[in-house]
């Protein structure tokens, strides 16, 4: 969708779809899995800790 402000340049606006929201939620879940795994590794390193 293009919109033009008073005297301004034409701008294009995007909207996330339901499919996009679902994909974002899945990627977020996967990222949390990676973060949790890294936390476990960091906790096993002597002298190191996760703050």
Whether 51 is covered by a domain: the verdict is no
- Rounded mean pLDDT, 6-24: 90
Please tell me the total count of domains within the chain: 1
Find out whether 2 and 11 touch, Cβ atoms under 8 Å: yes
3-state secondary structure of 16: coil
Helix (H) or strand (E) holding 11: strand 10-12
pLDDT of residue 10: 84
Residue 3 lies in a domain: no
Q: How many residues does the chain have?
A: 51
* pTM recorded for the entire structure: 0.60
User: Which residue has 């701008």 as its token pair?
Assistant: 11
Task: State the residue range of the domain holding 23.
Answer: 16-45
Q: Which residue has the higher pLDDT, 45 or 5?
A: 45
């Amino acid at each position: 969708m293009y919109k033009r402000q008073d005297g301004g340049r034409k701008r294009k606006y995007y909207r996330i779809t339901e499919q996009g929201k679902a994909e974002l939620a899945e990627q977020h879940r996967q990222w949390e899995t990676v973060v949790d795994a890294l936390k476990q590794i960091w906790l096993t390193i002597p002298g190191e800790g996760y703050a």
